[in-house]
Structure 1
Amino acid sequence: MPLPDWQQTLRALDVGVVVQARDLSIVYANPKATEMLGIAAAEMTSRTTDDARWDVIEATGDPVAPDEHPGPRALRSGEPVRGVILGVRRDDRPERAWIQVSAIPERSDNGVVERVVITLSDVSDAHREYREQDAVYKSVFRSMSEGLVLHAPDGSIRAANAAAERVLGLTVDQMSGRAATDPRWQLVTTDGVAADATVIPSEIARRTGQPAGETILGVSRASGALAWVAVRADPMFDPGDVALRGIVATFTDITAERETTLALEASRAQIQRVLDAVPGVVYQFLRPTEGPDRMPFLAGRIREVLGVDPQVAAANPMLLPTLLGQSEQAALFANIDAYVAKQEIFDHVLSVTLPDRGLRWLRVHGIPERTDEGVLYTGVILDVTEEHRMAEALRRRQRREAMGDMAAGIAHNFNNMLAVILPNVEMARDDASPETRASLSDAARAASSAADLVRRMLALGRAEPTAADASVDLAAITREAVHMCRQTFDRGITIVDDIALPVAFVRSSASELQQVVLNLCLNARDAMLGGDRCRLFVRLEADGADAVSLTVRDSGHGMSRDTLQRLGEPFFSTKGPGRGTGLGLASAFHSIADAGGTWRVESTLGDGTAFFVRLPLVAPQTNESSASSPSQYVFPDGVVLLIDDEPMVRTAVSRQLTRGGVRVEVAESAEVALDWLREVRTEPVLAVILDLSMPGLSGAQALPQIRSSLPRVPVIVLSGHVSDAQELVGAAMVLQKPISGRELLDALQSVIG
């Protein structure tokens, strides 16, 4: 019997068609359907959906329950079910057929679903290709060294690969559902600031629909440790569609690199702190096997030490040699050649004139190292200007002390001669006729002036005892000194004085202050010799309420820096032979210091010199000299023991004492004196006059023994050179040779009482 037209049409279709009744029985299946399912038409129409022989799975591999087949679902819901991919086990083949199934319900006139028309399309080849591609995709997805995370359109994570699990320390299940903005990630930027949606690449891609470039973020692992990742993100769209399907975020674990970078930055910061702490310039100097010398490295306190901008030094690392004079540059490279040849530690001190800083002294120190390129020196350049100046000052002080010691030795011998001359001149003057007395008085004054010069020489040798407080009028002394200069200086020198103060009492002696003023004026005169329009200016004015200022200025040749540094050094003089001893200014500066004053000098070559002396004012004192004559002294009965190794000194001092009414016992040494003290005596000893410097047993050594033998007898120490009066414990008085008869008798009367 011929088939109806609709069945003929269905038989010819390349699509399987199955009609399922309301009771789930299959009432029709065309040949294509039976072919795809591998079941004969008779057998198929004998089955229902819940037949146990069906073996149907979803694309995921999960089994499909009978009531979840597309037909029952369409019958139950009355709605079409379209495009469901199912895997069906066929009896004649070992592998499943993959079929795309759609179920369309048909209704009667009253709207009741009568049957379902199910269409079947064989997609086995397409599904096989998809599975193969999916397998490749999953393999690549799993094996990627980069972390990969798939975000849903709402930003939540829906998939992640093994690398992502390893980097983040979380499983896919633990990550699923989290958004990149979830606070549990504790995302931070490289600045340590919490990262928000504006800097997170997946959020940027989700918001803009554009790829987000690499960003470095810190993320908290499950262990709590911080991981650093370089993240990129790309949005996903279907072809021709504008709806966002998701975001692919990839990231690389750069924790090790980041930690290395941070360690390097910390190391650089530490090196910079070290460089900042080094009080100099750190450098590297390369003497290559071939080619010119160069400095690969120059850093540190470049501006402070070299006086140039660090950027200028960076552009020209070989800048230092260009700052040197020709001779210094030659000496530097000669030393470099010598040290490089031996590959020894380099150490060289050079002078350099820097802009706005003047003359500076630099010490260049370096350690050698043999490299493939040549000899490399690494070292430091230090500014040793202050150390150089201190060393120079120390050397000058040592020279001054040595000269002072020599001066003190000369002064000691000279004093012994004066100690003979002065008493004899005084005694001769007292017995001389009026005509002769004036000449002898001049001789006595000359001897006193010589004694004053000796005291200044002793002061240079640190041997002068502290002078007693006295006051003298500097204004009167300055006027007298200016008057003497006008009488004796060359008429070509114009002397201008401005002595505004009527009186100005300072603590010193008249002879010392006179020497100070005259020395300054004489040095000014000598500085103007041979010059034109010579002018000497002397000013004395108040310096505040408690001090006075003396200025002596000339229009002479001026002084160099080296001369200024040695000014005041004993025996240093710029004058020719026979024209100066170098003691004038040295003694003048010492007198100023003794008076509690200060001094300074301003001088420029070709532009003259100015000395400024500042002295504190004191209340005026009246020094009443004794007018007693030798016959007016009264001493108790007894004898004065005089101990001195110089015969002429013993004779002169003994005569002075005898003329003053004193009985004298002399001893030429301390040993003789001690023997005499041990003898039995019937007359008392009133005092002992002891010379300090004697051969054999010195006065300092004999003093304790004398005090032991005569505990109640005063001892007067008399010497041409007292090194330290503080050490003469037990001495009632210390007197400096030479001494006048009146001063010696006054001292005796004072200690005997």
Structure 2
Amino acid sequence: MLDGVSDDARLVQLLDSIDDGYVAVDGEWRIRLFNRAAAEFVGRHRAELIGRTLWEGVPEIVGTETERQLRRAAAGEKICFETRSSTRPDRDVVIRAVLLPDRSLTITFSDITERTTAERTARESEARFRLIADSAPVPMWVTSLDRKRWFVNRAYVEFLGVGYEEATQFDWRSVIHPDDIGRILKEQVEKEASLQPFMLEARYRKTGGDYCWLRSHSQPRWGPDGEHVGFIGVAFDVTIAKDAELELQRQVAERTAELEALYTRTPTILQSQSADGRLVSVSDRWLEFMGFESREQVVGRPAVDFLSDGDLERYRREDWPALLAGREVKDAEYRVVKRNGEIADVLISSRPWHDSEGRFVRTMAAIIDVSARKRTEEALRQAQKVEAMGQLTGGVAHDFNNLLAPIIGGLDLLQRRGVGDARTQQTIGSALQAAERAKTLVQRLLAFARRQPLQPSPVDAGRLIEGMAELIGSTVGPRIRLVLDVSDDLPACLADPNQVEMALLNLSVNARDAMPDGGTLTIAAGVEQVDEAAHDLRPGSYVRLAVSDTGCGMDEDVAARAIEPFFSTKGIGRGTGLGLSMVHGLAAQLGGALRLKSAPGQGTEVQLWLPCAAARPEASAAGQSPRTVNGAGAVLLVDDEPLVRASTADMLEDMGFTVVALESADEAAARLADGLAVDLIVTDHLMPGMTGTELARTVRSTRPGTPVLIISGYAEAGGIESDLPRLTKPFRHADLAAMLTTLLG
């Protein structure tokens, strides 16, 4: 017994689930089992039968062949026989009986009425054919591929004046008129090879020796799989058979066209509609594509049941009237609804089929699934949009960096020199803080535009989350409560802070979209230990960042595809489908992993696992004590932005350097070639003409040992050699001093 259900009850349930009748009797013929199908077939309630003998429960079988066979089975023979049902004389059954070791007998039976009816129909059809053929006053025959006749009718035999067997072997060439035989043999070979119905006329010698003109009509025969198996022919006396000839040709042509249409095999999705727009046939591939098991589920239903609502009006207004008018419809784009509710993009080509009198019979349509192509096209459009947005954002961020450089540099200079009274210094400090926030915002824009190179370093994840709380809170809106849950003594993780900020912002936006009616967004950070290698993580210590919401959640299918590039449930134009895939890629690059937990109605939690760092995070430049640079010597400063050039020159002069400021790398290269003596070169990267990297390469070849520092408003490192020291704009006096201290030793 399992789950409170006995084995006997399970056996009854199992037997009731099958379509065949099943009966079990003991050695005294008492009924022990009688399944549902058997009870329904004999028309009795099972409760009335159990415990009674088989002869009492089903008295109709007493004295029949069925009783005799069952008693043979009870004597030990394995019995299987076909018979007319004793309880339902209009049905045929096949009965099997097996004696079991405990002397009980199992009896199974199946209703085979459809098969036997079909067999009787076939036999009767063949008999009718022979009867009709033998009743015909004209010769008829059927041949195989080797031209041997395996059937001839009575008129055929009588025309030759021989016996039936001799008639099937008779060589017709022996009775064709000598003047016709050459032509007839040539036409026969050519027309048989065409596999088309054909007609021959010639003079044939009758038994009395006279010749008569016969017109023979032959047409190819096709097997059940469409293969050519021979010919069927009939011959008429031309004078009396003209009308019969035309009628036979019409019937043969109609039948041939119908068979070709019904039995054409193709891997394409096919459907056929009647004049009232209902499905009359579909191919196996159609059923597979639309998700149905049998034709009974769809045949007879209106074809429009499977079109999306947005396509119904166009179909009824344009394509269906065109088909009814006899016009073909080619590659019409539609969206069909599968059984599971999935929408598929398809191309439908349809043509009407008319009978020999021009009456509309049905349409035949071929369907091509283009869903994958549509998804690819949409993904390409989204990628182009993202790329264009990235280029625009990157360019704007570069311009902001160049604008922020003199602002931050100037405010930093005023703060370091203590200009003004305490209130003035407070104002300068506030302005500097705002400029630093703008700098951080630009870095986030560059990270979104994917123009920020991955620069892993030890990161205080707790401080990073707290620093983003205000931005995330304003992004998700007032209807969503933001909760931070950061563990105390959280170790540093190895990450790129800009990219992690962007990842947390993306995940927060996804959480917001999953809670249209409001909810709670929780951002947590904790430390986890992985002792054994997981499928996505190596053993070691990790900082686990988790973004969870109380939204609608995802089912297993959606969750499984959530990190696929361009996969989105937000609809066209509302999301790129890149958010989670970018976060997943970031985690993989950093040696961590992304894990997803979700269920419909239970919200979603996305975990970003990042490896712990061995070192502690460095303090930001704003919080460091100013580093002193013993500026001695001449510095060549190159930047095409006047304000940036002036601000940087002020910083360098404040450090004690003598500054030669130029606006282009081409001019700097010329001055150096003329013998300008400098101890250090500080140059922008992207400028009209020669770039800063090209200038550095020239200096390395002509003045080896002269230090070169690249400063750039772009955060990306494209085009800058990896071994060149580099400082990203905007920067403060302390940032530049720290870099020069490292560079000059």
- TM-score by length of structure 2 reads 0.53
Matches within 5 A, 1:402-441: 402-432=388-418, 435=422, 440-441=428-429
Of the three residues 703, 711, 716, the one matched with 2:709 is 716
Distance change >3 Å, CA 703–CA 620, structure 1 → 2: closer
Distance change >3 Å, CA 404–CA 143, structure 1 → 2: same
Of the three residues 607, 629, 632, the one matched with 2:628 is 632
Amino acid at match of 2:407: I
Counterpart position of 1:742: 734
Matches within 5 A, 1:600-619: 610-619=604-613
Counterpart position of 1:14: none
Contact 1:302–1:309 at 8 Å: present in 2 too? no
Of the three residues 306, 317, 331, the one matched with 1:323 is 306
Distance change >3 Å, CA 744–CA 145, structure 1 → 2: farther
Of the three residues 368, 374, 377, the one matched with 1:382 is 368
Counterpart position of 1:687: 680
Cα deviation, 1:371-392, whole Å, max 9, x if unaligned, reads 6446987553234334333333
Contact 1:631–1:659 at 8 Å: present in 2 too? no
Q: CA deviation at 1:282?
A: 2.5
Task: Give the 3-state SS of the residue equivalent to 2:283 in structure 1.
Answer: strand
Counterpart position of 1:81: none
Q: CA deviation at 1:412?
A: 0.9
Of the three residues 351, 375, 383, the one matched with 2:335 is 351
Task: Give the 3-state SS of the residue equivalent to 2:706 in structure 1.
Answer: coil
- State how far apart, in whole Å, the 1-side matches of 2:627 and 2:487 are: 46
Distance change >3 Å, CA 722–CA 326, structure 1 → 2: closer
- State how far apart, in whole Å, the 1-side matches of 2:377 and 2:392 are: 22
Contact 1:146–1:164 at 8 Å: present in 2 too? no
Of the three residues 269, 280, 287, the one matched with 1:303 is 287
Percent of aligned pairs sharing the same letter:
24
Q: Are 1:275 and 2:269 counterparts?
A: no
Q: Are 1:474 and 2:474 counterparts?
A: no
Q: Are 1:455 and 2:443 counterparts?
A: yes
- State how far apart, in whole Å, the 1-side matches of 2:584 and 2:593 are: 9
Q: CA deviation at 1:407?
A: 0.9
Contact 1:716–1:735 at 8 Å: present in 2 too? yes
Cα deviation, 1:71-130, whole Å, max 9, x if unaligned, reads xxxxxxxxxxxxxxxxxxxxxxxxxxxxxxxxxxxxxxxxxxxxxxxxxxxxxxxxxxxx
Q: CA deviation at 1:414?
A: 0.4
Contact 2:458–2:618 at 8 Å: present in 1 too? no
Counterpart position of 2:615: 621
Cα deviation, 1:625-666, whole Å, max 9, x if unaligned, reads 58987673246x643221111111011111222222333211
Counterpart position of 2:81: none
Contact 1:640–1:687 at 8 Å: present in 2 too? yes
Cα deviation, 1:113-170, whole Å, max 9, x if unaligned, reads xxxxxxxxxxxxxxxxxxxxxxxx9x9799478863xxxxxxxxxxxx4745879xxx
Q: CA deviation at 1:417?
A: 1.0
Distance change >3 Å, CA 463–CA 298, structure 1 → 2: same
Counterpart position of 1:242: none
Distance change >3 Å, CA 717–CA 538, structure 1 → 2: closer
Counterpart position of 2:87: none
Counterpart position of 2:494: 507
Counterpart position of 1:732: 724
Contact 1:142–1:163 at 8 Å: present in 2 too? no
Distance change >3 Å, CA 369–CA 664, structure 1 → 2: farther
Q: CA deviation at 1:399?
A: 1.4
- State how far apart, in whole Å, the 2-side matches of 1:484 and 1:722 are: 21
- TM-score by length of structure 1 reads 0.52
- State how far apart, in whole Å, the 1-side matches of 2:296 and 2:524 are: 50
Task: Give the 3-state SS of the residue equivalent to 2:686 in structure 1.
Answer: coil
Contact 1:692–1:718 at 8 Å: present in 2 too? yes
Cα deviation, 1:250-286, whole Å, max 9, x if unaligned, reads xxxx998587967269xx99x999634x5xx123568
CA-based RMSD of the aligned residues comes to: 5.4
Cα deviation, 1:303-328, whole Å, max 9, x if unaligned, reads 33212234136623x65421334433
Gaps of 5+ in 2: 1-153, 173-217, 230-258, 532-536
Count of equivalent residues: 490
Contact 1:282–1:299 at 8 Å: present in 2 too? yes
Q: Are 1:399 and 2:363 counterparts?
A: no
Q: CA deviation at 1:403?
A: 1.3
- State how far apart, in whole Å, the 2-side matches of 1:568 and 1:700 are: 45
Contact 1:475–1:504 at 8 Å: present in 2 too? no
Distance change >3 Å, CA 591–CA 450, structure 1 → 2: farther
Contact 1:404–1:462 at 8 Å: present in 2 too? yes
Contact 1:714–1:732 at 8 Å: present in 2 too? no
Q: Are 1:659 and 2:654 counterparts?
A: yes
Q: Which moved more, 1:412-421 or 1:514-523?
A: 514-523
Contact 1:507–1:618 at 8 Å: present in 2 too? yes
- State how far apart, in whole Å, the 1-side matches of 2:654 and 2:392 are: 36
Counterpart position of 2:15: none
Q: Are 1:671 and 2:685 counterparts?
A: no
Gaps of 5+ in 1: 1-136, 149-160, 168-253, 575-581
Cα deviation, 1:695-750, whole Å, max 9, x if unaligned, reads 3555466565555554553433322125552x334871333211222322333343
Contact 1:641–1:664 at 8 Å: present in 2 too? yes
- State how far apart, in whole Å, the 2-side matches of 1:697 and 1:660 are: 28
Distance change >3 Å, CA 673–CA 257, structure 1 → 2: same
- State how far apart, in whole Å, the 2-side matches of 1:455 and 1:398 are: 22
Amino acid at match of 1:411: A
Counterpart position of 2:31: none
Q: CA deviation at 1:692?
A: 2.5
Q: CA deviation at 1:505?
A: 3.9
Larger of the two Rg values belongs to structure: 1
- State how far apart, in whole Å, the 2-side matches of 1:568 and 1:647 are: 48
Task: Give the 3-state SS of the residue equivalent to 1:735 in structure 2.
Answer: strand
- State how far apart, in whole Å, the 1-side matches of 2:569 and 2:730 are: 27
Distance change >3 Å, CA 166–CA 500, structure 1 → 2: farther
- State how far apart, in whole Å, the 2-side matches of 1:295 and 1:303 are: 12
- State how far apart, in whole Å, the 1-side matches of 2:647 and 2:589 are: 32
Contact 1:401–1:460 at 8 Å: present in 2 too? no
Contact 1:630–1:660 at 8 Å: present in 2 too? no
Task: Give the 3-state SS of the residue equivalent to 1:632 in structure 2.
Answer: coil
Amino acid at match of 1:736: T
Matches within 5 A, 1:556-595: 595=590
Task: Give the 3-state SS of the residue equivalent to 1:640 in structure 2.
Answer: strand
Counterpart position of 1:40: none
Task: Give the 3-state SS of the residue equivalent to 1:301 in structure 2.
Answer: helix
Cα deviation, 1:549-572, whole Å, max 9, x if unaligned, reads 5444444689999xx979799x98
- State how far apart, in whole Å, the 1-side matches of 2:595 and 2:741 are: 40
- State how far apart, in whole Å, the 1-side matches of 2:363 and 2:657 are: 82
Task: Give the 3-state SS of the residue equivalent to 2:266 in structure 1.
Answer: helix
- State how far apart, in whole Å, the 2-side matches of 1:719 and 1:166 are: 101
Contact 1:717–1:731 at 8 Å: present in 2 too? no
Amino acid at match of 2:628: Q
Cα deviation, 1:344-384, whole Å, max 9, x if unaligned, reads 7523343344333x332221231657864469875532343
- State how far apart, in whole Å, the 1-side matches of 2:296 and 2:605 are: 42
Distance change >3 Å, CA 446–CA 297, structure 1 → 2: same
